[in-house]
Structure 1
């Protein structure tokens, strides 16, 4: 089964105050660059959702990775919907990853892909909390393409019942994101923890 990664990177970074994708982590690497490095280490096909005219990060991508999402200002759900609509037809599943979560380990991505079954979805669970990225079989693609607003796929995950597997992981990176500048220097900052 071909499973790829759809990275959501079309947000406006309103809470951060500037384009957080370009902000440097303590080691000096920009946030988006570190996230891409981690995702590419899993050796999975990658596509990245971006706003139209978003040239500030062009040098981060390999040919064919960029997906332009004209409705990105409609929220994470809209970006996700537009990104899924542009995926290669042979993808049987996807991991929905977030650009502001650079601490997810490549092994976690591999475990999520291995746990994904036909018709299912998989959410990483760390310390009893749901995190990111979330894996979806292509069965869910039509529903993902209907999403709107800022909540992403949270309602879809909540409504999936037994079709959604909670996979315990030893990776605190699935719960950590960067929302504000202080999160960069603090190292790890608790994320909202729910998939969305």
Structure 2
């Protein structure tokens, strides 16, 4: 039986893709905007931003891997995470600073991949968001990424399925203090009765 190393633990390879939670960025824009400390540890509704993201991933039931080693760029982080989960049937690349992404969106993106898409990009009101999903056929290209550009070259080299979603959480990342305040307001609105 194939195994998958997830966060240092060998597990049976899942039937579905693995969510790669990218948590190794330096958060320079957040600090430059007046943030105090790492953006993934900034408090959102009394809990670190990364914890909100991980709560959604855990609730989805999908396997996941947190890539939190200090890599110089997003491409390096993606490559390391793919190499650590090489036997996966595919990957959902999710930056750790998307605390409002919905569980249903993660599942819809994973299902689109299972339905045969090579690359799946969620789109909210015309804006491309995350997680971006990749089939196993993209693995070698993803594992070879480096630098700040992320997986854009892999997306451009494959057939892309644009998945329309009603989830603002796919495009709200915590890059600045203002973005954190906006996320706080949106989270309160979600939790409001009615």
Same fold (TM over 0.5): yes
Contact 2:16 2:110 in 1 (8 A): no
- Displacement of 1:111 after TM fit? 0.5
- Counting only pairs closer than 5 Å after superposition, residues 38-117 of structure 1 correspond to structure 2 as 38-51=56-69, 72-73=71-72, 75-87=73-85, 89=87, 91-116=88-113, 117=115
SS of aligned partner of 2:97: coil
> Gaps spanning 5+ residues in structure 1: where?
53-71, 190-196
Point out the structure with the larger strand share.
2
* 1:5 corresponds to: 19
The answer to whether the aligner puts 1:32 opposite 2:86 as a matched pair is no
- Displacement of 1:118 after TM fit? 4.0
- Displacement of 1:159 after TM fit? 3.0
1:23 maps to which of 28, 42, 45:
42
Contact 1:119 1:138 in 2 (8 A): no
The TM-score with structure 1 as length reference comes to 0.79
> Gaps spanning 5+ residues in structure 2: where?
1-14, 32-36, 186-194
The answer to whether the aligner puts 1:180 opposite 2:176 as a matched pair is yes
1:60-80 CA-partner distances (Å, limit 9, x unpaired): xxxxxxxxxxxx12x000111
- Displacement of 1:16 after TM fit? 1.1
- Displacement of 1:47 after TM fit? 0.3
Cα pair distance change 1:34/1:172, threshold 3 Å: same
Contact 1:24 1:31 in 2 (8 A): yes
Contact 1:177 1:188 in 2 (8 A): no
Q: Which has the larger radius of gyration?
A: 2
SS of aligned partner of 1:178: coil
- Runs of 4 or more, structure 1, over 6 Å off, are none
The TM-score with structure 2 as length reference comes to 0.80
- Displacement of 1:94 after TM fit? 1.1
1:31-50 CA-partner distances (Å, limit 9, x unpaired): 01111111111001110111
* 2:9 corresponds to: none
* 1:158 corresponds to: 156
- Aligned partners of 1:159, 1:131: CA distance in 2, in Å? 18
Contact 2:40 2:48 in 1 (8 A): yes
